[in-house]
Chain A
């Protein structure tokens, strides 16, 4: 199961000493530790005959909020003698989230998440925690940047978990949408939310996700995609076992079909699971277009993936071993284009494929404007030059460019990465044993796919195990009249999504 966590647990032993250092027992020691940082501030206010001190991290809180909502009301009543105990702050300060506590652990946790700690000089062991967290540093724009669609909403998620859950709640407007929060990460203490719809999602899946998340022992959670790796069923696979997306409509769709969504604070990506291989080829746009077009484009996408996986390896197999397969009419241009090439097909293909990979990596890391230039320089200039220099053949440039193009057709980036990677084993297999090698590679791929599971659910469902009834929303996108049931392989608690009315359309001859 979660292989990764074993190693982290092993490391845990050494970390015990560190952990104790960061978790002091009493308040004075804790404050002393905090005062080492220059962004830790303590201010003194005198109200009536009492001295109130407020401590906070300047960098974590919204200072305007502090001034207008905490200091100002307190100063206005500075001469008021009614102030007797700390609890009175609750009535004085116009901030709802004020907690009274004496526990060092919770003070520490809250203080580091952007609370101010107020205490009276004479009352020890009693502290008020005032929620003042600043949300600066988060981007304001929440367009989907990496999963674009022409039709449909462009609402994406941002790096704040509360905004994200708010976005979800705005669209799933029912009380049964459950958000469970846990803290993950020994150093970052990241809030991670498990989201599902009660009464729809199978409880076992929720429980599995929860257990696996709780087992994680890791220091800093940067992104949800890390969680994806920690909780996935099998870490020895190039395939993503959870769908990760930044689109709201995708997450909403996953939730209403009965999947579980997980998001961590600070990440614009949600992961949803259990997912099947087909989920990665669905695009929300399929559902916004008429079903005939949606189905057609989905099939194009699946074909694109198959093509980009096998096109270059097929080229190698045919040109190295099975030239009989090439028809006579095609043989001539092929020979002509390969006449100047001094390498065997394998080297030729590897050369071009690696060039394309360089272009992709460079393009992904560079700013958009330079990236475009790079695409032109790389694609056109290098491609043309290599052909002229006789390093590769014209036809191969076409095939490689096609397959690179086709691999971009997958709507989920992680899946297109997996396919990018899988091309190489296929290329090597077919360079050793031709078409037989290619099919040995395919055999390994198929067996591997059938062995994969996502949260215990077979990855290849509904093809294997065969679920004929759920096949309808896999290769094609059927009309909404037929997609009113949730897929049975998710074992949802209730299977009906909506009840379509009977459509009666008379295709009449002048209305008969």
Chain B
């Protein structure tokens, strides 16, 4: 929802190239993830792979870091959404009750196991696919295609920097590290994973280009939630200011994201430290709700989400290739014996 502004910070209106670039890198990462997860026998999630590669102690340290990273991700998602509600819907609301109710919902979803988590994600996917159609058709009269020109006026390094910012939007693929053992036919699923990645990239690209054609560059630099501003312009019979509805609809997607992250974290705790998932679930959710209650001002939230995005980028661009290399080397070493 907010990526348009961040992405153009460096590359300006050439950022669509960065989006495509990030999409391609993500494909590479998915391929790596599948390779990592499928190449070591009898260990197909990241916890056991870490144990095998780095030993019990160091491995567990990394696992803990990964688990915390997921919880952190869930928190950031949650908080960013809360901010959006605060700005757009209820400026003077006491957020504690809402966050408790949402935490309960997440608890209900995650305690249903992988099946209900993926179920809510299916709904989220359906919603985002369905909601894009009216969005495109309604923006159509307001577009200025000439905004896209000139096509290339930024250096390659700018575009690369933007694509690093873009990676934040793709965070979530790493949940595959835990999801993998639950996939019944991994070979088939890889095809789907690539397909979905392509679809997501196209979606991002489409929304970005819509925003480019809708706003001028200077406008876009100062808009925090360009998508919402865009939606706010639409008028359909019976309703106007559709952004109020859009934000609420967004809720389902947020819940799906949070649930998957929390589920992955609980799963990690279970495999690595043999903790009862229900217990860690309760602990994580209380922590998130409490943190949400105490972190209030926008600057902190922004900083926190920046930290998260940086960690995420390193996680994706450094840790996964590193593990990939380790796994490959290990494979080479073991094979001759």
State the A residues within 8 Å of B (CB). 321-322, 324-327, 330, 433-436, 438-440, 442-444, 446-451, 458, 460, 463-466
Contact = CB atoms under 8 A, between A and B. Distances in A.
B112 A446 contact: no
Given A321-B89, A434-B89, A446-B119, A440 B251 contact: yes
A447 B105 contact: yes
A450 B105 CA distance: 13
Interface centre among A438, A463, A464 (most CB of B within 10 A): A464
Given A330-B238, A440-B251, A444-B105, A451 B118 contact: no
A190 to B, nearest CB: 35
B21 interface: no
Given A435-B244, A451-B108, 15 more contacts: A324-B240, A325-B239, A325-B244, A327-B235, A435-B245, A435-B247, A436-B85, A436-B251, A443-B105, A444-B105, A446-B123, A447-B120, A450-B112, A450-B120, A464-B123
Given A450-B119, A451-B112, A439 B244 contact: no
Nearest to B184: A465
Contact of A439 (B108, B112, B235, B251): B251
A454 to B, nearest CB: 14
Interface string B105-126: 1001100100110111011001
Interface string B246-268: 01110110010000000000000
B101 A440 contact: yes
B249 A439 contact: yes
22 contacts: A322-B89, A325-B242, A325-B245, A327-B237, A327-B239, A330-B238, A435-B244, A436-B89, A436-B248, A439-B248, A440-B251, A443-B105, A443-B109, A443-B120, A444-B105, A446-B252, A447-B116, A447-B120, A450-B119, A451-B112, A460-B119, A464-B122
B6 interface: no
Nearest to B232: A324
B102 interface: yes
A444 B244 contact: no
**Complex A-B, nearest 4 residue pairs according to Cβ-Cβ distance, in ascending order:** A450-B119, A435-B248, A451-B112, A439-B251
Given A440-B102, A440-B251, A444-B105, A450 B241 contact: no
A447 B89 contact: no
B120 A438 contact: no
Contact of A447 (B98, B109, B235, B245): B109
A465 B118 CA distance: 8
Contacts of B112: 447, 450-451
Chain A binding site: helix, strand, loop or mixed by DSSP? helix
**Chain B contact residues (Cβ within 8 angstroms of A): what range?**
20 to 34
A405 B235 CA distance: 28
A436 B235 CA distance: 21
A317 to B, nearest CB: 8
A439 B252 contact: yes
Given A324-B244, A443-B105, A464 B252 contact: no
A458 B240 contact: no
Contact of B241 (A324, A444, A446): A324
B252 A435 contact: no
Contacts of A322: 89, 241, 244
Contacts of A447: 105, 108-109, 112, 116, 119-120
Contacts, number: 93
Contacts of B116: 447, 450-451
Nearest to B112: A451
Contacts of A442: 252
Nearest to A446: B123
A449 B89 CA distance: 28
A340 B251 CA distance: 35
A450 B115 contact: yes
Contacts of B85: 436
Interface centre among B101, B238, B252 (most CB of A within 10 A): B101
Contacts of A463: 122, 126
A464 B98 contact: no
B98 A436 contact: yes
A326 B240 contact: yes
B155 to A, nearest CB: 43
Contacts of B115: 450-451, 458, 465
B123 to A, nearest CB: 5
Contacts of B123: 446, 450, 464
A444 B240 contact: no
A322 B246 CA distance: 12
Contacts of A435: 89, 244-245, 247-248
Contacts of A321: 89-90
B107 to A, nearest CB: 10
A461 to B, nearest CB: 10
Contacts of B255: 443
Nearest to B124: A446
Contacts of A439: 248-249, 251-252
A434 B249 CA distance: 12
Contacts of A458: 115
A460 B122 CA distance: 11
Contact of A325 (B108, B119, B240): B240
B238 A327 contact: yes
Nearest to B119: A450
A278 to B, nearest CB: 15
B248 to A, nearest CB: 4
Contact of A444 (B89, B98, B108, B122): B108
B240 A464 contact: no
A433 B119 contact: no
A76 B7 CA distance: 105
Contacts of A443: 105, 109, 120, 251-252, 255
Nearest to A450: B119
Contacts of B126: 463
Interface in B126-155: 126
B273 to A, nearest CB: 27
A464 B251 CA distance: 19
Given A433-B98, A436-B248, A466 B122 contact: yes
A446 B248 contact: no
A464 B248 contact: no
A435 B90 CA distance: 11
B83 to A, nearest CB: 13
